[in-house]
Structure 1
Amino acid sequence: MHVRTKQTGTEVVIPVPAEFRIAADMTYAVEKLADGTLQYRPQPIFPKIWQDPASELAQFNKMIGAQDDGQNYGREHVAD
């Protein structure tokens, strides 16, 4: 199978055939090897834990014994 590169703005794009079943919006590390081979390695997808609802975070903290004692320590800012 062969694919043809395409110029898109200032980038050259290499299409991925649909039968490879690569999900859209994935992140890959790319490296050009000494022989000119392009090596793509999928990067892990980390959960967006900072966007969890405050009630779920509080429940999790309670479950692991890390409840907020309501005190400020160092330079942290606790919203009222």
Structure 2
Amino acid sequence: MKVVLSLEDGDGLRCVDILEIGDGIFAFKEYRKDVEDPSRWFLVNDYSKMTVSTRDQAVAAASKTVPWLKMGPDGSAKS
């Protein structure tokens, strides 16, 4: 499993990693940083069972699933 893309919010406190979990199989996980310990990422939601065939499909699935990505990484509404 390897990270092929990381999407962070505007504050750098939330992140979605797009993962290649096998040959042509992609998924994603959501993380957050704790303000008391900003040096580490903590797993919030593991969506790795929601697999798709491409990186772009994984980004689209994450954008539909993760609330702050629905709004856009900077918190603004997506058009």
Q: TM range, normalised to the smaller chain?
A: under 0.3
Q: Where is the strand percentage greater, Structure 1 or Structure 2?
A: 2
Select the structure with the greater relative contact order (CA < 8 A; seq sep ≥ 6). 2
Larger radius of gyration: 1
Give me the TM-score of the superposition, normalised by structure 1. 0.22
Give me the TM-score of the superposition, normalised by structure 2. 0.22
